[in-house]
Structure 1
Amino acid sequence: MKLFQLTAGVLLLLGTCSVSAQTESVHWNQFRGPNGAGTAAGFKPPLKIVADQAAWKTPLPPGKSSPVLWRDRVFLTGLEGDRLTTLALDANSGKILWKRLAPEVPLERVHRANSVAASTPCVDEKNLYVYFGSYGLLCYDHLGLEQWKKPIPTPKSMYGVATSPILHGQRLILVLDDDANLSGSRLSRSKVMALDCATGELVWETPRPYNRGAWSSPMIWKHESGTELVVLGNGRVYGYEPATGAERWHVSGFSREPIAVPVAGNGQLYVSVSMQGGRGDVELDPEPFWTAMLAFDRNGDGRIGRDEITKDFTSPFRPELPPGHPGFGSPLPADPEKRRKRQNDIFNWRDRNKDGFWTKQEFAADMRVGHGQPNLAAIRSGGLGDITESHVRWNLRNGIPEIPSPVFHSGRLYLVRSGGILSCVRTDTGEVIYRQRLGASGQYSASPVIASDHLYLFSNNGVITVVKCGEKFTVAHQADLDVSITATAAMDQNSLYLRTGDALLAFR
């Protein structure tokens, strides 16, 4: 066994021809690559991505996690039957090198648009670190040998767990924002924790008692005043001391459903959160939402009556989707009795005069209140305590994505929102340089990535658009891959790795 491990380890170090030239110090080793930035210097994947020109395609079990890479290995997770699974593939051939099943546990209930294998692993020169909300943390070496494991209670949230762990030095950092309360308390059991990479032992843990369920992931912000751990939570973004977990600062003014990962550049931190339900503009037009609800108006009287509540009735979030689609509106319980109760609560909330009907006027009035504001905030470094008033340089309230994170390049931010709308923002002033339609509509879940001065964007429907970075909107390539894409792509020096609904593809 020792001889096998030694031989395999030597082969792992040597790598093979097509990926072995990868920059030694840079690896796409976590969600959105180095430090979650969505870009890496020196990477040159192909500009033209064509469906039938993949270098390889490997069938995968379902999952939403993104691939991560170290040298000539690709790692990701999935759900095989009812078992949580970790996989390692050869980056050159797509061959599955090993699979490991997590301990058998009850699977958390997640929204239909989510997955129990949604969290992206992270990897360093020695080990792979995997988080499943249903189980906790698992650590394997690159050969698939388990190094340690740490069961963690499953956080409670409306959509299911989606946060991903990150690495900072010899520490593994994980955020566990949670709708559940501490025992005997009205405070949340949310927390951020750091573990020793080698042993899995807890190094520090910081409670986040006023935060509820969230779906963002942490990042490390290095700036002229030092290094800070940044965590976007429910209504606030926080800065912590990475060595101890001590809170240093916070900024308020965000809505209660944070998903995107903050990004740094040009000496500032950029934090984006849409309104509840994914609404990206501060001025909300109720008309399309009401039009969508008229699908329930069976008698055609222009109102929604209590007796017109059907199985798919809910409060609309995304009117461009049909009722019954998992992204259409507020999530509903699967249990019929609980589902009906939730639907009645939704109906009663908007039936302000209690006459048993929704009118367009009642509906429109409610749409304009209580959902928070979309916000892209630029925060300068060096603050302590509540720095909302003192360190926020500018805010942008329109064109804010729900799920995709922003990406920084050469003094500009790029944001893509559902509907295929791309915004380019000047980071020193918050000025919108352009806001353009990509010509590829539909939902966008994958975060954009940048390589060789080009922005790669992926719609859920499988359309990839490559846009040249700069102040002029220029589409360099667009192609319909005719697949489902919701996971963020990964890259190495010459390849783009793209997870679809049932496979992993490599383009080079």
Structure 2
Amino acid sequence: EVIPAARHDELKLSGDQKERLAALQKGVDAKLAELLNDEQNKQISDMRSGRGRGGPGGPGGFGNRRPPDDIYRWELHCLDRATGKTLWSQTALESKPRIPIERSNTYATETPVTDGERVYAYFGMHGVYCYDFAGNLIWKKDLGAFPMSGGWGTASSPVLDGKRLFVLCDNEQESFLVALDALTGDELWRVARSESTSYASPFVWRNKLRTEIIALGSPKVRSYDPATGKQLWELTIGNGRCTASPVGNAEMLFVGLDAGGGGPMGRGQRGEDAGGEDSASGMFAVSAGATGDLDSRDGDAATGGVVWNSRQNGPTTASPLLYDGYIYIVKRDGGILTCLDAETGEQVYRKRIPGAKAFWSSPWAAEGKVYFADDAGTTFVIKSGPEFEVLGQNEIDEMVWASPAAADGAIFLRGVDHLYCIGE
């Protein structure tokens, strides 16, 4: 069944223990690849209640630096996972927008997150809202409104660690990372940040030694103690777009950015242009237990904590995928897919996916296959491992910007107008 979508945030499913949607655990239903190709297994629900990327030009961006005068509604919808039927809908806020957005963004780009009892929705500069599974508002929190670079709008999603909810709000005026009590919405701690506009979501890195909150910025990525907000380490990775979120395992964190200009996030620290010869675009690997200043701006793994740096292989919009010992990085434009060895950072291959358009959503993997959905609605199936091989492709008839979710043997794909459930 297809369910109306009209926005390009990621999906969050109750019962799915993954907080990031970059990868699926091994052992997920092996039939998912076959189900993607079978029209009889698709359920579709209409979600055209808001403006999607495929609609007319937006109110903000470089052509208009002021918020629109129209009244907008910020809504949260709960759907039955089996049927696509709407169980409840709540309007969190109805007002004029506080900031402008560019035409390729919306005011509902951030992904909700759930702890299995409550769901937390962050609408950028329009507040954080907590609901129970019956749709009752538990609490709400206004974190303020601040200008974003170029009027692009916001995109960073909240993350959970136990009873703490973390929100990263990097902007052009007063950047910060804040921890909220998930039960009450009370502020537990807040740390000021020198980085400016970022669209990357924070990452909860549960490594072999401790849990860390990773916040990607330009030019630095920083690690924080989730209990206190104390900074554990920092690493200069260069000026560029901060859109893709880090990934990690028990041993290492993998983080990077793209130093190209234009598009979301074209600036570094306030007043600095992205790109240029001094920009250290690429992927970095940081070992568990790192502390202090890990500055590696020369690109060498000469300081403690930095295991390797693969230059010129930084992600653009889609987050990198860590799967079976390899890191997959797909560029937003051109369909360029890079595969790195996670242990060494060595480039295994760099290939163009034939016929691919732009990639905004993050890839996912299952049963030895890696999936990439481009914005034209085509999902490409690539064989995992050191050899590049396109196993197949399938299509839906609309744009896809949101990263997919999977649960109970089904895949959920969100187009600009519909939500697709693909499964038996």
**Pair in the same fold by TM > 0.5:** yes
Larger radius of gyration between Structure 1 and Structure 2: 1
Superimposed CA distance per residue, residues 250-309 of structure 1 (whole angstroms, 9 cap, x where no aligned partner)? 0102223211110002611100201133xxxxxxxxxxxxxxxxxxxxxxxxxxxxxxxx
Question: What residue number does 1:448 align with?
Answer: 363
1:319-330 correspondence runs (5 A): none
SS of match in other structure, 1:38: coil
How far apart are residue 448 of structure 1 and its match? 0.4
**Are residue 85 (structure 1) and residue 69 (structure 2) matched?**
no
Which of the residues 185, 196, 200 maps onto 2:181?
196
**Counterparts of 1:397 and 1:257, CA distance in 2:** 15
1:13-162 correspondence runs (5 A): 27-28=15-16, 33-35=18-20, 37-44=22-29, 46-48=32-34, 49-50=36-37, 52-60=39-47, 61-62=49-50, 82-107=72-97, 108-158=99-149, 159-162=152-155
The structure with the largest helix share of the pair is: 1
Question: What residue number does 1:230 align with?
Answer: 214
**Counterparts of 2:14 and 2:104, CA distance in 1:** 32
Code of the residue aligned with 1:249 in structure 2: it is W
How far apart are residue 397 of structure 1 and its match? 2.0
- Determine if contact 2:250/2:288 at 8 Å carries over to the other structure: no
Specify whether residues 43 and 26 from structure 1 end up closer, same or farther in structure 2 by C-alpha distance, changes over 3 A only: farther
Question: What residue number does 2:375 align with?
Answer: 460
Q: Which runs of 4+ in 1 moved over 6 A?
A: 328-331
**Are residue 395 (structure 1) and residue 309 (structure 2) matched?**
yes
- Determine if contact 2:280/2:311 at 8 Å carries over to the other structure: yes
- Determine if contact 1:62/1:501 at 8 Å carries over to the other structure: no
Specify whether residues 370 and 81 from structure 1 end up closer, same or farther in structure 2 by C-alpha distance, changes over 3 A only: farther
**Counterparts of 1:246 and 1:268, CA distance in 2:** 20
Specify whether residues 88 and 329 from structure 1 end up closer, same or farther in structure 2 by C-alpha distance, changes over 3 A only: closer
Code of the residue aligned with 1:384 in structure 2: it is T
How far apart are residue 444 of structure 1 and its match? 0.7
**Counterparts of 2:256 and 2:141, CA distance in 1:** 32
SS of match in other structure, 2:39: helix
**Counterparts of 1:161 and 1:505, CA distance in 2:** 25
Q: TM-score, normalised by structure 2?
A: 0.83
Specify whether residues 104 and 113 from structure 1 end up closer, same or farther in structure 2 by C-alpha distance, changes over 3 A only: same
Code of the residue aligned with 2:108 in structure 1: it is A
Unaligned runs of 5+ in 2: 1-12, 54-69, 268-272, 296-302
Code of the residue aligned with 1:105 in structure 2: it is S
Superimposed CA distance per residue, residues 65-106 of structure 1 (whole angstroms, 9 cap, x where no aligned partner)? 9xxxxxxxxxxxxxx982111101011011111111122232
Question: What residue number does 2:170 align with?
Answer: 177
Question: What residue number does 2:344 align with?
Answer: 429
**Counterparts of 1:34 and 1:112, CA distance in 2:** 28
Superimposed CA distance per residue, residues 379-405 of structure 1 (whole angstroms, 9 cap, x where no aligned partner)? 112222101232212111234331001
Specify whether residues 368 and 137 from structure 1 end up closer, same or farther in structure 2 by C-alpha distance, changes over 3 A only: closer
Question: What residue number does 1:309 align with?
Answer: none
Code of the residue aligned with 1:82 in structure 2: it is Y
SS of match in other structure, 1:94: coil
Question: What residue number does 1:167 align with?
Answer: 160
SS of match in other structure, 2:95: coil
- Determine if contact 1:223/1:267 at 8 Å carries over to the other structure: yes
- Determine if contact 1:51/1:480 at 8 Å carries over to the other structure: no
**Counterparts of 2:134 and 2:384, CA distance in 1:** 39
Aligned length: 376
- Determine if contact 2:373/2:379 at 8 Å carries over to the other structure: yes
**Counterparts of 1:384 and 1:62, CA distance in 2:** 45
- Determine if contact 1:106/1:134 at 8 Å carries over to the other structure: no
Unaligned runs of 5+ in 1: 1-24, 66-79, 181-188, 278-316, 318-326, 332-365
Q: TM-score, normalised by structure 1?
A: 0.69
**Counterparts of 1:190 and 1:448, CA distance in 2:** 29
**Counterparts of 1:482 and 1:416, CA distance in 2:** 22
Specify whether residues 488 and 62 from structure 1 end up closer, same or farther in structure 2 by C-alpha distance, changes over 3 A only: farther
- Determine if contact 1:196/1:202 at 8 Å carries over to the other structure: yes
SS of match in other structure, 1:47: helix
Name whichever of 413-422 and 43-52 sits farther off.
43-52
Question: What residue number does 1:380 align with?
Answer: 287
- Determine if contact 1:179/1:213 at 8 Å carries over to the other structure: yes
How far apart are residue 63 of structure 1 and its match? 6.2
Question: What residue number does 1:363 align with?
Answer: none
Code of the residue aligned with 1:56 in structure 2: it is Q
How far apart are residue 436 of structure 1 and its match? 1.7
**Counterparts of 1:92 and 1:245, CA distance in 2:** 40
Question: What residue number does 2:384 align with?
Answer: 469
Question: What residue number does 1:505 align with?
Answer: 420
How far apart are residue 178 of structure 1 and its match? 1.4
**Counterparts of 1:448 and 1:491, CA distance in 2:** 12
Code of the residue aligned with 2:330 in structure 1: it is V
